[in-house]
Chain A
Amino acid sequence: MQRAFAYLIAGWSGYFVMALELLGGRALAPYFGSSIHVWGAIITVFMLALSLGYLAGGAWSRRTPSLARLALLLAIAALCAVPVALGSDALLDALSARLADPRLASLCAALALFFVPTMVSGMVSPYAVRLLVDERAAAGAAAGRLYFVSTFGSAAGTLLTSFYLVLYFELATLLWAMIAVSLLVALPPLLWRPAARA
């Protein structure tokens, strides 16, 4: 059960990150356009945040790792995405008005909105590996399965969002729904915490 939840959290986190990236591009377009440098800024911020998240997640997994803490990461990442769902029009408007260089402006906007939720999401995978690996010989297999689940989730989040969901739902609706799913997935492990320890 614990394993299943670790995989579920990693898979959903993968979906969340890529859907956020895709919808984030849409959220910035009214202010910064959809020039190549806007997508460059977004992808840069996501990669940078994930890379630092991997480091942080790995480091944190050394201290009394638990499924509840893994679920907590998922919940925190979701809550940090609330400003994106709210639109943050005032911030984006101010950035686009004050910064003359559109590259710098879109980079700052992407940093402000996406860095924290993405970095926390990046902590999920290495943390989950720690929970899934029992012995050294099986470490590669466990990590491989986890990468599979997480990246497959990313592919699903990209495809479903860009091909289908944007056809039916508003940007904010999709983001709120993703935040809700993250909290729902995180809830059982958080509530079961005493039982899991026992």
Chain B
Amino acid sequence: MKRAASGTLAVLLAVAALAAPGSPGGAHAADLQLRHEERSLYRQVLVYERAGERCLCFTRKCTIGRQSCIELAHPQRLVFGYTRMMLGALLMGPPPQRVLVVGLGGGTLPATLARLLPEADIEAVEIDAAVVRVASDWFGFQPGPRLHVATEDGRVYVRRMGREGRHYDLVMLDAYDQQYIPEHMLTLEFLQEVRALLAPGGVVAANTFSASRLYDNESVTYARAFGGFYNLRSGNRVILARPAGLPPLAQVRAAAERLAPELTPLGVDPQSLAALFRDVPDWDANARLLTDQYSPANLLNAR
């Protein structure tokens, strides 16, 4: 009799992973052209094109947001505000030599970093093999000797690298989206494992999708794990932390000026990027910490 009950669990999990309340397709939904679709172990992976942009989506007609987009005519330009904000990590200190990106999407971030930092070793970890395949078939993501991708759960990878004593100058967390947050990757313990991976002066950049109540919980959890952080908000939210101490804003602006020749061709305006840096808490400091014992991130985000 519990066979049926456990079947229910499997279905419940699948539904939780795949479905989410969606808004209708948007005004230009009709122009969307589906170029590719496949069903992976975790979700549907869809590639749509519209108005010269190609996007990776996990829902039909991209109702719940686009994971990754490129401009077909200028594939190097960064379409999303959040990817530009993530590059704010480069304004936090010297150019990183060892980089880990958790969550691949279309591969935009690791590919961009590989172009900006030709000397750096970049690793990306992605749970879904189909996403890795689609990134390389449709988004020009090409792993190479200095750009590796591992198909594995991000937390398991982080723990293993920690056991092996590996260190990174920059860790980017890009594994969350509006429809689903891997809850074991938004806990104090996970962030402490990430912190242990940082080389002296290392930087963490996290693209988070928190709305409503989760914003407070997420903020206190990051603050506890990393101390203060720069909070960049413009649609999305990006958290930039540096446990060794945040660089003063003047230093951030100076770095923006220095990096302008590299960043501008990507569609990033370094000065407006630097202007987004905020270090004043705008959350409820009494919110409950997210831990491995208490991690209802998706339930909190849905409220």
Chain A contact residues, CB within 8 Å of chain B: 14, 17-18, 21-22, 26, 29-36, 38-39, 43, 46-47, 50, 96-97, 102, 122, 125, 147, 150-151, 154-155, 158, 162-163, 166-167, 169-173
**Contact status A158-B163, CB under 8 Å:** no
Specify which chain A residues have a CB less than 8 angstroms from the CB of B9 in the assembled complex. Answer: 18, 21-22, 43, 158
- 29 A-B Cβ contacts within 8 A? A14-B1, A18-B5, A26-B183, A26-B292, A30-B187, A30-B190, A31-B159, A32-B156, A33-B127, A33-B154, A34-B153, A34-B184, A35-B127, A35-B152, A36-B41, A38-B153, A39-B10, A47-B3, A50-B2, A96-B159, A102-B153, A147-B1, A150-B2, A154-B2, A154-B5, A163-B299, A166-B294, A167-B296, A169-B294
**Contact status A167-B159, CB under 8 Å:** no
Q: How long is the Cα–Cα vector from A22 to B183 in the complex, in angstroms?
A: 14
Given A33-B155, A35-B127, A36-B41, answer yes or no on A155-B183 (Cβ-Cβ < 8 Å).
Answer: no
Specify which chain A residues have a CB less than 8 angstroms from the CB of B183 in the assembled complex. Answer: 26, 29, 34
Q: Closest approach, in angstroms, between the C-beta of A144 and any C-beta of chain B? A: 10
Specify which chain A residues have a CB less than 8 angstroms from the CB of B8 in the assembled complex. Answer: 154-155, 158
**Contact status A18-B2, CB under 8 Å:** yes
Q: Please, which residue of chain B has its CB at the minimum distance from the CB of A151?
A: B1
User: Which of B1, B13, B163, B189 is in CB contact (< 8 Å) with A150?
Assistant: B1
User: Which of B2, B127, B300 is in CB contact (< 8 Å) with A14?
Assistant: B2
Specify which chain A residues have a CB less than 8 angstroms from the CB of B41 in the assembled complex. Answer: 36
Q: Closest approach, in angstroms, between the C-beta of A195 and any C-beta of chain B? A: 31
Chain B contact residues, CB within 8 Å of chain A: 1-6, 8-10, 12-13, 41-42, 127, 152-156, 159, 163, 182-184, 187, 189-190, 291-296, 299-300
**Contact status A96-B293, CB under 8 Å:** no
- Among B10, B13, B42, B293, the one with the most A-chain Cβ atoms within 10 Å of its Cβ is B293
